[in-house]
Amino acid sequence: MAIDRLRADLERLREEIARADAGDRDALARLEELAGQVQRELDEENAVGDPAGLVEELEEAITGFEARHPNLTAIVNNMLVALGSMGV
């Protein structure tokens, strides 16, 4: 189920953020903030208010991460696929 996969990816994302290089502190903080928004969306229907905007923000947040943080990029891409399969 997409929601279960999204929850698992969200947990993996937070673990990777905790292990990531502190030199990317601002970008990692933004990813953590977006992870919180995804969590609220899962916990409360329509909590984000603009799920499409959340997807766009996630896509923007991982720009530039591919080379330095491939695991973060892969996890966020998985989350985007799961959100897409949920119709977001």
Q: Give the tens place of pLDDT for each residue, 61-87.
A: 788 777 778 888 899 888 888 888 877
In 1-88, alpha helices (H): 2-19, 25-43, 51-61, 65-68, 70-85
| Pairwise CA distance, residues 39 & 58, whole Å | 13
Q: pLDDT for 22-40, tens place per residue?
A: 777 888 888 888 889 888 8
pLDDT of residue 11: 93
Q: How far is the C-alpha of 84 from the C-alpha of 21, rounded, in Å?
A: 29
